[in-house]
Amino acid sequence: MTDEGAFEALTQKISRERGMSCGSYKNKCLKRRIAVRMRARAIHTYDDYARLLDRDPHEYQALLDALTINVTKFYRNPETWDALRPYLAELWTVRRGALRIWSAGCASGEEPYTIAVLLAAAGAQGTIDATDIDRLSLERTRQAQYPDAAFTEMPADLRRRYFRDGQPAQEVRALVHVLAHDLTREPPPRTTYDLIVCRNVVIYFERSAQERLFQVFVDALRPGGVLVLGKVETLFGPARERLTLADPRERIYRKPA
């Protein structure tokens, strides 16, 4: 089998056996992550690596952990959160009820807890669905115990007010609901949201998977609802026609009311 053929066979095996739809991810990303594991185990061909997966369940788990890139921080890209604060305040004023928010691809939870802090600081109420495909990330989100390094971008006053010993205060914690969820194949956890934040996730997806997901997001937004993507991500396809670009630099989009 050619190298490319063996790669295809390996990704199909992972999709079949572990339910991760590798076809939705860019091959370049998958190859880079698989190479990390092959190097760690001193294995040189995809065929040999597939055989290792058959006999070593720990390696399978290590591979699945490696396939998801979980880098994150509280208040990551501060300008984006500063730009979002007035939208949150406005959504809260207009809705006059608990806001429904989705942090899609939440990694270890710094993003949904950042949103929860901003809600609390605005005196607003709401629930934040924090979802990810990665089991370890979800465990960390539930544990909610963070090292100093996670806070380097968070304004000191917010950290002082809403965290103790690396843990979010109970009022912040109570707003976040942690759920396993695969963005490439599952419908949204709820049918309507006021705010969807999905940053630094779709960058790893194939264009067609991105386009599909964007439509899912727009369908799930209420009129007047807000979508935030990552700094290097851009909305395109039919979904782009259905939202207005409220802040081009911070990738904040809005569904017409």
Ligand X SMILES: C[S@@+](CC[C@H](N)C(=O)[O-])C[C@H]1O[C@@H](n2cnc3c(N)ncnc32)[C@H](O)[C@@H]1O
**Angle (nearest 5°) at CA 187 between 186 and 188:** 115
Toward ligand X, which CB reaches closer, 44 or 207?
A: 207
Within a 10 A sphere around the Cβ of 11, how many other Cβ atoms?
Answer: 21
100 sits near ligand X (criterion: CB under 6 A): no
Shortest reach from residue 228's CB to ligand X, in Å? 10
> Does residue 199 bind ligand X (CB under 6 A)?
yes
**Which of 6-14, 42-50, 194-202, 244-252 is the region at the interface with ligand X (rule: CB under 6 A)?**
194-202
Give the binding range for ligand X (CB under 6 A) out of 29-37, 39-47, 106-114, 164-172. 106-114
149 part of the interface to ligand X, by CB under 6 A: no
Q: Which residue, 118 or 201, has its beta carbon nearer to ligand X?
A: 201
Residues near 248 by beta carbon (within 8 Å), at least 6 away in sequence: none
Residues 6+ apart with CB under 8 A from 99: 88, 91, 92, 119, 124, 125, 126, 127, 194, 195
Choosing from 10, 196, 201, 202, the residue that interacts with ligand X (CB under 6 A) is 201
Give, for 194, the enclosing helix (H) or strand (E). Answer: strand 193-198
CA 237 to chain centre: 21
133 interacts with ligand X by CB under 6 A: yes
Among 185, 257, 181, 189, residue whose Cα is nearest residue 226:
257
Q: Which residues contact 249 (CB under 8 A, 6 or more apart)?
A: 79, 83
CB closer to ligand X out of 129 and 134: 134
Q: Please, which of residues 1-60 interact with ligand X by CB under 6 A?
A: none
Report the residue from 12, 182, 190, 207 that binds ligand X according to the rule CB under 6 A.
182
By CB under 6 A, residue 251 contacts ligand X: no
Q: How many residues bind ligand X (CB under 6 A)?
A: 22
Measured CA to CA in angstroms, residue 231 lies from 81, 204, 220, 242 at distances of: 12, 14, 22, 20
- Does 132 bind ligand X (CB under 6 A)? Our answer is yes
Binders of ligand X in range 64-83 (CB under 6 A):
68-72, 76
Sequence letter at residue 130? A
- Give the residue, chosen from 111, 129, 194, 233, that forms a contact with ligand X under the rule CB under 6 A: 111
- Is residue 176 within 8 Å of residue 141, measured between CB atoms? yes
Residues found near ligand X in the complex (CB under 6 A): 68-72, 76, 105-107, 111, 132-134, 137, 181-184, 199-201, 230
